[in-house]
Amino acid sequence: MEKDLVEYIAKSLVDDPSGVDVNMIVGEKSTILELKVSPDDIGKVIGKQGRIAKAIRTILSASATKSGKRIVLEILD
C-alpha cells in the first residue's frame, strides 16, 4: 500500500512518469522504500530545501501508523 502511495505521488510530480521506480525492502521492524526517478526529475521529488521529500515522508509515517511499522523513504540518484 505504501509503495503504491509513493509511486502515485512521485508520478504526479515528475515530467517523466515512466522513469519512476519504487523498490520495497521489508525488514522485521521497518520497511525501506527506495524511490528512483529520472536524473532530470530528482529536484522535483526533493523540492526546495527538501520540503517535498519531507512532506512525502510525513504522509508515509501517517500511513504506517496503522501497521505499527517504521517506513523509511530513500531517494536514490
Q: Domains along the chain?
A: 2-76 (3.30.300.20)
Global pTM exceeds 0.75 = yes
Report the chain's mean pLDDT, rounded to a whole number.
92
5-51 per-position pLDDT tens digit: 999 999 999 999 999 999 999 988 889 999 999 999 999 999 999 99
52-66 per-position pLDDT tens digit: 999 999 999 988 887
Question: Which residues, including other chains, have CB under 8 Å from residue 67's CB and lie 6 or more apart?
Answer: none
* Cα 12 from Cα 30, distance rounded (Å): 26
30-40 per-position pLDDT tens digit: 899 999 999 99
